[in-house]
Structure 1
Amino acid sequence: MNHNTPAPLSSRPLPLCHLSRNQRRVMSGAQLKAHGVSHSVAQEQCREGGPWQQLLPGVFLLHPGPPTSDERLHAVLLYAARVQATRTRMDAVPSQPAPGATPGPAAVPDGPVASPYRDAMVTGLAALSLHGFCAAPPAASLDHIDVLVPRTRRLRSTEFARLVRATWLPAPVQLQGVPVAPVPRALADAVAGLSDANAVRRLLTEAVRGGHCEPAAVVRELNQCRLLTRPHVVDAVDSLLAEGRAIAEDRLYAMVREHGLPDPVWNVDLRLPGGPHLGGVDAYWPEHAVAVELDTRAPRQDEDALWSEYARKREHLERLGITVVHITPKKLRESVEQQATVVRTALMTSDERDPAAYVVVLPR
């Protein structure tokens, strides 16, 4: 063998130029093995001054120098999925060729290729940064990147990978080539690690003002993560609900104005003459006996009781002949024209219904 003779295949890594660009030259040990790179060869490449480096246990960066923000994201996802990925890819690892045999290309399984991250997804502040939150620091500046995994995953947080375990996982969204937890779940995981009340309030407020999600979805996640027992979180939630209701009311005013509906009386209480209080509504057309109520209830521990109280009020008004149109903030945001049609239909068909009972209308 002279200096022009190439080294044996088993002693050097195969060319890796065909790897997916989305992985940003970050690979797990199982993926390297599937490409013919043994663990010992990978470790040799990561020696001091070598061309590779090991970012996390079982996760390798295929270039020298500091990793980019994207590469750190891919690294924590590969680390969080590496146990499951190793087990599922074991059968796909090519065997070493027999002596004298010419190695052929690795077999590619039929059908769609599974995600290398399996069920892991970025969450917390890093996820909010990917969702475009101004109140969240850039992912590159974070000391730790939170990654959401099933509760049964047997891995520990290490280096800059911090594992967040959950009994159930939401469906991730794909942002910048990585799976990311939806905003409500990412918010809950971010809030869990924050003790600064102002930081919590800024994140929750931006979620609503920026149109990322509805307040009810945020409160539901905070409740499921058992964060509503923390005083600074409860205070922020109260501000969030007030913010969400104000935005929903503005959208309701705009719907009436922009879709040519007659002006109602706004934010009133209804009472029977000399009788009990019937409840408040957000808009009421007395001549048509039509009311609109915004459902801005926050799902908490007493959600069933709140729903029962709301249902009783609605049933009572309808027994008196008052048509109640129920609108959620989400419907006002996503299908305002349809909601305006529902209200207009209720107003136009009021003459076809039996006359409603006389009620007293008072400012709320």
Structure 2
Amino acid sequence: MTHNTPLSPRPLHHLAALGAGRVLTVAQLRAHGVTAAAADAQCRPGGPWQRLLPGVVLLRPGPPTSEERLHAVLLYTARERTEGAVPAQPGPDAPERPEAMITGLAALTLHGVTGAPPLPSLEVIDVLVPRQRRLRSAGWARIVRTAALPAAQSVTGVPVAPVARALADAVAGLTDARTVHRLMTEAVRGGHCEPTALVRELRRARLLSRPHVVDAVESLVAEGRALAEQRLYRMVREYGLPDPVWNVDLRLPGGPHLGGLDAYWPEQAVAVELDTRAHRHDAPASRGARGREHLERLGITVVRLTPRGLRDRPEQQAVVVRTALMAAGEQPPAAYVVVLPR
């Protein structure tokens, strides 16, 4: 005999196997045989469950943990699915290309950026979603839209926006200049992101017109250059490269200024230029390219090194410079230039 009765609000002991404090969507509960009416009954005041966000339930009473709040936000953003589909619980098995990721201050905290507020103190958690998603901010889940999602980074199984993007999203909601300056500086000092990537994200978000952001960027660029120069000095010393002349300007005899260089080997006519000028939002990238082309037409080899390369691959960068120095003897003599301290 067939009974076409709906799923009954049967005892829910079988859900205990899911683990204490499990966060589930209404769709997931339905897949476990729990009707909407049964879930509502469990979430009544004084009941054993609670509704954290629309369509998202915590299977225990009491305040949610930071991890539970993060998972609830991600499950809330995953609600737009084909009817009957069950969103996956965030965790180590989360998809490589998630449709949403934590960003803003919460993401900075997860990345370990010093000075970012602890998760329990955050009144809202920002979550980055594609612009076309039909979602609204709800409770402590604040929707941040983007035309294209960046590649997420997994932190303790939670999909998180890269530091530069998360920092730009955080700065968009901050008005305190000291807080903005501190977060930017500590993200760079801690090696979480390069100034170039951060400025690129700030430009994309149209934040470089804000005076307190511009001031922080100028300070950040200066500090980023100083760090890159220190890494360049260390690379030359540790990998046994011949000593160059440091921080010089080149000029043609009685002629125009040719540009500044971070390191120059006059005998080999090899120069090193740190690629940090691209951080400046008021300087076209083509200006530096034209200067390099002019030097190369004069027979000077220009090697461009990036701050990230010096930080992550100093040995490889040293090989590039050494190769340029060794190849100099096979090149036609360079034009005579005047070397001046910068």
Instruction: Tell me the TM-score normalized by structure 2.
Output: 0.92
**CA distance in 2: counterparts of 1:342 and 1:57, whole angstroms:** 56
1:297 positional shift:
2.5
1:183-222 residue pairs with structure 2 within 5 A? 183-222=163-202
Given that 2:102 and 2:128 are in contact with CA atoms closer than 8 Å, whether structure 1 keeps it comes out as: yes
2:53 is aligned with 1:16:
no
Given that 1:81 and 1:117 are in contact with CA atoms closer than 8 Å, whether structure 2 keeps it comes out as: no
Change (3 A) 1:91 1:62: closer
**CA distance in 1: counterparts of 2:86 and 2:126, whole angstroms:** 30
2:69 is aligned with 1:72:
yes
- Alignment partner, residue 5 of structure 1: none
- The one-letter code of the counterpart of 1:326 is R
Instruction: Tell me the TM-score normalized by structure 1.
Output: 0.86
2:114 is aligned with 1:126:
no
Change (3 A) 1:176 1:142: same
**CA distance in 2: counterparts of 1:117 and 1:32, whole angstroms:** 25
- The one-letter code of the counterpart of 2:192 is H
Change (3 A) 1:353 1:91: closer
**CA distance in 1: counterparts of 2:11 and 2:38, whole angstroms:** 7
1:47-126 residue pairs with structure 2 within 5 A? 47-82=44-79, 84=80, 87-88=81-82, 90=84, 115=95, 118-126=98-106
Aligned residue pairs, count: 331
SS in 2 for 1:63: coil
Change (3 A) 1:222 1:132: same
SS in 2 for 1:298: helix
- The one-letter code of the counterpart of 1:38 is T
- Alignment partner, residue 100 of structure 1: none
1:349 positional shift:
2.1
RMSD, aligned CA: 2.1
Of residues 117, 139, 145, the one that matches 2:125 is 145
1:221 positional shift:
0.5
1:140 positional shift:
1.1
For residues 106-164 of structure 1, what are the alpha-carbon distances to aligned partners after superposition, in whole Å with 9 as ceiling and x for unaligned? xxxxxxx8759941111100000000012100111111111111112222212111111
1:298 positional shift:
3.3
**CA distance in 2: counterparts of 1:358 and 1:230, whole angstroms:** 45
Given that 1:81 and 1:118 are in contact with CA atoms closer than 8 Å, whether structure 2 keeps it comes out as: no
1:167 positional shift:
1.1
2:206 is aligned with 1:226:
yes
**CA distance in 2: counterparts of 1:77 and 1:155, whole angstroms:** 12
Given that 2:275 and 2:307 are in contact with CA atoms closer than 8 Å, whether structure 1 keeps it comes out as: yes
Gaps of at least 5 residues in structure 2 are 1-5, 88-92
Structure of greater Rg:
1
- Alignment partner, residue 323 of structure 1: 301
**CA distance in 2: counterparts of 1:293 and 1:223, whole angstroms:** 24
Gaps of at least 5 residues in structure 1 are 1-7, 94-112
**CA distance in 2: counterparts of 1:116 and 1:318, whole angstroms:** 44
Change (3 A) 1:92 1:352: closer
For residues 260-290 of structure 1, what are the alpha-carbon distances to aligned partners after superposition, in whole Å with 9 as ceiling and x for unaligned? 1111110000000001111000000111111
